[in-house]
Amino acid sequence: MYPVRYPASDEWATGVDGVRDAGAHVVSRATNCPNTKMVLGGYSQGAAVMGFVTSPTIPDGVDPATVPKPLQPDVADHVAAVVLFGTPNVRAMSFLNQPPLTIGPEYLPKTLQLCVPEDPVCSDGMNFAAHNSYADDGSIVSQGADFAASHLATTGVPVSVVAPQHGFGS
């Protein structure tokens, strides 16, 4: 497990620090541990960060000098699954004055985006409390874990699950 190092906050512009850190870590693991298969995951702003990490291009309107370059396509071979909870949709990203997310074609078949009903960040809903309910809904967390485990199992790499000592999001 690797905690992406960036100041996750209401200041969405700091997300680029997360994209930079996560992307560098993924490349480092792919290079230094070529037999390792990774699962990328995130919730809300963290889901956006991972979405941008997997993006095949720099979003329109973003100065390429201010953001990391997209990962090389072969890096995707080292990623078994991508699980995103409450991924900000176009409406949410527009409200935040951020570009929309595009999951890269190398990652899309192994990506699961989970959104609880009425979550205004990832659906057309307007129940803001829904966006904070992911930690309370064990079934949605289990769905993500099952997806990741099933994709890891197809890689032929032994899978072991280690449960964190703290709750989701802590």
Q: What is the CATH number of the domain that holds 101?
A: 3.40.50.1820
Listed in sequence order, the DSSP H helices in 34-158 are: 45-54, 90-95, 138-153
Q: How large a percentage of the chain has pLDDT more than 90?
A: 72
Number of domains making up the chain: 1
User: What pLDDT score was predicted for residue 164?
Assistant: 40
User: What pLDDT score was predicted for residue 160?
Assistant: 52
Residues annotated as catalytic (active site), given as ranges: 44, 119, 131
Cα 154 from Cα 86, distance rounded (Å): 26
Please write the tens of the pLDDT for every residue from 112-129: 999 999 999 999 999 999
Domain range enclosing 123: 12-153
Q: Residue 28 forms beta bridges with which residues?
A: none
User: What pLDDT score was predicted for residue 121?
Assistant: 97
Please write the tens of the pLDDT for every residue from 2-13: 899 988 887 877
Contact 28, 70 (CB under 8 A): no
Residue 88 has pLDDT above 90, yes or no: yes
Domain-embedded: residue 121: yes
Domain-embedded: residue 101: yes
